[in-house]
């Protein structure tokens, strides 16, 4: 069974800055990393392979330098890495991106499971996982926090909700996206790094995938970004300090001056 992990190279946002005039990310000097949520997807893929066997293929769309991210995936234990790179892919929104990834996955054989992070930390849409699933007409489950059972036929997993989780059983092939609770990603080993240096990164272009150019990249993207801006910081709150009796009195007084009707609340 082929286990595919889709990864995205993103700027390391732990030290990101925004140009206040253009409102765009300042990319110079910012290190590129694998989207952190995708690291959990890679780790889970490796664990599944270690448990039930199979092959892990790392897949990414992007400019040639994304090969570095794919090498990292190999250093962690992925068996194969495929880079989708072509000028025609540039400027893709989540629709065109998922269409392209889906096209690439269609070229692969014996697909059992496709894993992704729940979202990318640069775009934060969370749409590509479900998007690929729709393009491939495959089922998907997002936000998985635990895989309880997995075989080549079916998966039993827990899907994180705001107030609990759903326990789901589904047939393979399927697309899943994972949250950070699912595991603790391993660090690359020396042997892995050495293998990654030598590994061949397979490159596919638009022609090979066989999707018409008007359906991919900027041409195939229905979304248009009109403006990016930093939302104004919400105004600072007020903290009342002291004994509860005093602070409650202060709060009531404040609400009153603010013109808020205190209804049945009694002042003492």
Partner 1 sequence: MDYFLTEEQQMIRDTAAQIAKEKIEPLALEYDEKGIFPWDIVKVLGDADLFRVFIPEEYDGLGGGAFEMSIVVEELSKACGGIALAYAASGLGIIPIILFGSEEQKKTWLPRLASGEILAAFALTEPNAGSDASAIITSAKPDGDDYVMNGTKQWITNGGEAEIYTVIAQTDPSRGARGSSAILVQKGTPGFEFGKKEDKMGIRASATRELIFQDCRVPKTNRLGKEGMGFMVAMKTFDQSRPGVAAQALGIAQGALDKAVAYARQREQFGRPVSSFQGLQFMMADMAMQLEAARALTYQVARNIDAGVKNVAGISAMAKVLASDAAMRITTDAVQIFGGYGYMKDYPMEKMMRDAKITQIYEGTNQIQREIIAMHLIKESMRKEG
Q: Two tokens at 34?
A: 């694998």
Provide the minimum distance between the beta carbon of 191 and partner 1 in the complex, in angstroms, as a whole number: 5
- Binding residue for partner 1 (CB under 8 A) from 168, 186, 248, 252? 186
Report the DSSP pairing between strands 2-6 and 55-61: parallel
Closer to partner 1 by CB, 70 or 157: give it.
70
Closer to partner 1 by CB, 37 or 95: give it.
37
Instruction: Confirm or reject binding of residue 87 to partner 1 (CB under 8 A).
Output: no
Provide the minimum distance between the beta carbon of 189 and partner 1 in the complex, in angstroms, as a whole number: 5
Interacting span for partner 1 (CB under 8 A) from 64-72, 116-124, 183-191, 254-262: 183-191
- Binding residue for partner 1 (CB under 8 A) from 31, 162, 164, 190? 190
Closer to partner 1 by CB, 44 or 86: give it.
44
Enumerate the H helices of the chain as residue ranges: 36-52, 67-76, 94-106, 128-136, 190-198, 206-209, 244-257
Closer to partner 1 by CB, 187 or 245: give it.
187
Closer to partner 1 by CB, 47 or 186: give it.
186
Instruction: Confirm or reject binding of residue 47 to partner 1 (CB under 8 A).
Output: no
Q: Give how many residues touch partner 1 by CB under 8 A.
A: 9
Closer to partner 1 by CB, 167 or 191: give it.
191
- How far, in Å, CA of 77 to CA of 97, rounded? 25
Strand ranges (DSSP E) for the chain? 2-6, 9-11, 32-34, 55-61, 80-84, 111-117, 140-150, 154-161, 164-171, 174-178, 202-204
Instruction: Confirm or reject binding of residue 191 to partner 1 (CB under 8 A).
Output: yes
Residue in the structure block whose two tokens are 């894993």: 115
Q: What angle do CA 197, 202, 203 make, to 5 degrees?
A: 120
- Binding residue for partner 1 (CB under 8 A) from 24, 189, 205, 247? 189
CA dihedral sign of residues 36, 232, 161, 131: negative
Provide the minimum distance between the beta carbon of 76 and partner 1 in the complex, in angstroms, as a whole number: 11
* Residue-by-residue DSSP string for 191-202: HHHHHHHHPPPE
Give the largest Cα separation in the chain, rounded.
78
- Binding residue for partner 1 (CB under 8 A) from 47, 146, 180, 193? 193
Interacting span for partner 1 (CB under 8 A) from 40-48, 133-141, 162-170, 188-196: 188-196
- How far, in Å, CA of 98 to CA of 92, rounded? 9
- Binding residue for partner 1 (CB under 8 A) from 90, 122, 188, 203? 188
Closer to partner 1 by CB, 47 or 170: give it.
47
CB-based contact 48:154 (threshold 8 Å): no
- How far, in Å, CA of 206 to CA of 212, rounded? 8
Q: Which residues bind partner 1 (CB under 8 A)?
A: 186-194
């Amino acid at each position: 069974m082929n286990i595919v992990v889709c990864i995205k190279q993103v700027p390391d946002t732990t030290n990101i800055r925004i140009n206040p005039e253009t409102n765009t990310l300042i990319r110079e000097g910012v290190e590129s990393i694998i989207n952190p949520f995708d690291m959990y997807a890679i780790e889970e893929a490796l664990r599944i392979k270690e448990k039930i066997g199979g092959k892990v293929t790392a897949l990414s769309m992007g400019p040639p330098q994304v090969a570095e991210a794919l090498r990292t995936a190999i250093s962690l234990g992925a068996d194969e890495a495929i880079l989708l790179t072509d000028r025609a892919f540039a400027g893709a929104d989540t629709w065109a991106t998922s269409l392209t990834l889906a096209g690439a996955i269609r070229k692969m054989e014996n697909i059992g499971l496709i894993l992704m992070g729940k979202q990318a930390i640069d775009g934060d849409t969370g749409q590509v996982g479900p998007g690929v699933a729709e393009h491939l007409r495959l089922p998907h489950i997002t936000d998985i926090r635990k895989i309880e059972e997995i075989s080549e036929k079916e998966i039993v997993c827990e899907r994180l909700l705001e107030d609990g989780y759903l326990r789901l059983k589904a047939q393979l092939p399927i697309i899943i996206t994972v949250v950070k609770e699912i595991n603790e990603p391993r660090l690359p080993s020396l042997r892995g790094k050495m293998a990654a240096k030598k590994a061949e990164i397979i490159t596919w272009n638009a022609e090979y995938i066989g999707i018409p150019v008007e359906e991919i990249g900027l041409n195939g993207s229905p979304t248009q970004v009109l403006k990016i801006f930093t939302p104004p910081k919400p105004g600072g709150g007020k903290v009342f300090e002291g004994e509860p009796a005093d602070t409650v009195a202060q709060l009531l007084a404040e609400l009153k001056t603010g013109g808020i009707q205190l209804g049945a609340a009694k002042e003492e």
